[in-house]
Chains A and B, each alone.
Chain A
Amino acid sequence: MRFLSLLLLVALATGCTSSKDGITVFAAASLTEAFQEVANEFEEKHGAAVELNFAGSNTLRVQIEQGASADVFASANEEHMRALVEEGYVDKGIAFAENRVVVVVPSDNPANIKSVEDLCGDVKLVIAGEAVPAGRYAREALFNLDAIYGSGFAEQVLSRVVSNEDSVRGVLAKVALGEADAGMVYATDALAAGDKVKVIELPQVNVSPRYYVGVLSNSGNKELAREFVNFLLSPQGREILQKHGFEVVQ
Chain B
Amino acid sequence: MNAFALIRTFTGVAVAGFILLPVIAVLISVSDVSPGMLLSEDVMAAVRLSLFTATLATLLIVIIGTPVAYLLARSSSPLRRFLEVIINLPMVLPPAVAGIALLAAFGREGILGRYLASAGIILPFTTAAVVIAQTFVALPLYVRSARAGFAGVSRTFEGASYTLGASEFTTFLRVSLPLAKGAIIAGVIMSWARAMGEFGATIMFAGNFVGRTQTMPLAVYSALQVNMGKALVLAALLILISFFILFAFEIVPKRRYADA
Contact = CB atoms under 8 A, between A and B. Distances in A.
Interface in A103-126: 110, 124, 126
B222 A4 contact: no
Given A7-B21, A62-B226, 18 more contacts: A3-B17, A7-B14, A110-B108, A126-B207, A129-B222, A132-B225, A162-B209, A162-B212, A163-B208, A164-B208, A164-B210, A166-B203, A166-B222, A174-B207, A177-B107, A179-B109, A179-B124, A179-B125
Given A162-B209, A163-B207, A179-B103, A56 B225 contact: yes
Contacts of B228: 62, 66
B27 to A, nearest CB: 14
B221 interface: yes
B21 A162 contact: no
Given A126-B207, A179-B124, A164 B108 contact: no
B213 interface: yes
Interface residues of A, number: 27
Given A161-B209, A163-B213, A164-B209, A179 B108 contact: yes
Contacts of A58: 225-226
A165 B228 CA distance: 18
B209 A131 contact: no
A59 interface: yes
A163 B203 CA distance: 9
A8 interface: yes
A209 interface: no
Contacts of B173: none
Contacts of B226: 58, 62, 130-131
A22 interface: no
Interface residues of B, number: 25
Nearest to B126: A162
Interface string B104-148: 000111000000000000101100000000000000000000000
Interface in A121-163: 124, 126, 129-132, 161-163
Closest 6 CB pairs of A and B: A163-B207, A162-B125, A178-B109, A131-B226, A59-B225, A179-B124
Interface in B61-112: 103, 107-109
A62 B212 CA distance: 26
A129 B109 contact: no
A62 B224 contact: yes
A162 B122 CA distance: 12
Nearest to B124: A179
Given A58-B225, A59-B225, A132-B225, A166 B208 contact: yes
30 contacts: A4-B17, A7-B14, A7-B17, A8-B21, A56-B225, A58-B225, A58-B226, A59-B225, A62-B224, A62-B228, A110-B108, A124-B122, A126-B125, A126-B207, A130-B226, A131-B225, A132-B225, A162-B207, A162-B212, A163-B125, A163-B207, A163-B208, A163-B209, A164-B208, A164-B209, A164-B222, A166-B221, A166-B222, A177-B107, A179-B103
